[in-house]
Structure 1
Amino acid sequence: MSSPISAVTSAIAPPAVVAPISLGETSAAESASGSGFGAIIGKALESSQQVQDRASELAVKAATGSDIDVHNYLAAATEANLTTQLTVQVRNKAIEAFQEIMRLQA
């Protein structure tokens, strides 16, 4: 049995090879391949949205009386909850990092 954490990490798994993040401008190759930091975050958010959509779809089916497997619904709802918590924590860490950078510049 896999843990809920492994389900979330597999849903938001980064690409196998991540290019180093540079603070300068992106090169034409990075822009064309979409391997920049923004692209990785964008893919993770898209994956999170897909998980949320799946949980919502199953919730509607359950509410309308459609024949669904309750286990699948509960798993999808838990995965959506964990994905949301992970997204919020990543956002919080990004804000903390930004605030720390701003303190360094002062």
Structure 2
Amino acid sequence: MAINSISLITPTQITNQTDKLGVQATPYEAGKNFSNYLSNAIESVNNQQIQSDTFTQKLITGQDVDLHEVMIASQKASITLSATMEVRNKVIDAYQEIMRMSI
């Protein structure tokens, strides 16, 4: 059984995206790119949660699904949600730190 990565972005994607830019992006474009990245990341977390719920429902209704698949999907969803919450907490802490800075 292959072990799939649960990472939302790989280091090679980061370097490829910065290579494509070449020119300095405007603040609007940078904000739009960041917004798109966050939307995709949240959508990925949501898809993990939906997949976990689907497997759980299949198990409850007695459909043909292996218990280990249900548990793996549940743990993937849990880990991605926990990681997302930690990133959110760090972003909020950074924002609060910036707001405390004197100009």
TM-score bin, normalised by smaller chain: 0.7 to 0.9
What are the ranges of 5 or more consecutive residues in structure 1 without an aligned counterpart?
none
User: 2:6 and 2:98 mapped to 1: Cα distance?
Assistant: 29
C-alpha distance in 2, partners of 1:18/1:41? 15
Structure 2 residue runs of 5 or longer lacking an equivalent are none
The alpha-carbon deviation at position 87 of structure 1 amounts to: 0.7
Which one has a larger percent helix, Structure 1 or Structure 2? 2
Match of 2:47 in 1: 50
Identify the residue that residue 62 of structure 2 maps to in structure 1. Answer: 65
Structure 2 CA distance, aligned partners of 1:95 and 1:69? 39
| % identical aligned pairs | 28
User: What is the RMSD computed on CA atoms of the aligned residues?
Assistant: 2.7
SS at match of 1:7: coil
Aligned match for 1:84, one of 81, 85, 101: 81
What is the Cα deviation at residue 18 of structure 1?
Answer: 3.1
Spell out structure 1 runs of 4+ moving beyond 2 A: 17-20
- CA offset digits 1:25-70 (Å, max 9, x no partner): 324xx68xx6x11111110100111011000000011111111011
Structure 1 residue aligned with 2:5: 7
Q: Which has the higher contact order (CA 8 A, sep 6+)?
A: 1
The total of aligned residue pairs comes to 95
How far apart are residue 94 of structure 1 and its match? Answer: 0.6
Partner SS, residue 78 of structure 1: helix
Bigger Cα displacement from structure 2, 66-75 vs 80-89 = 66-75
Task: Provide TM-score, normalisation by structure 2.
Answer: 0.77
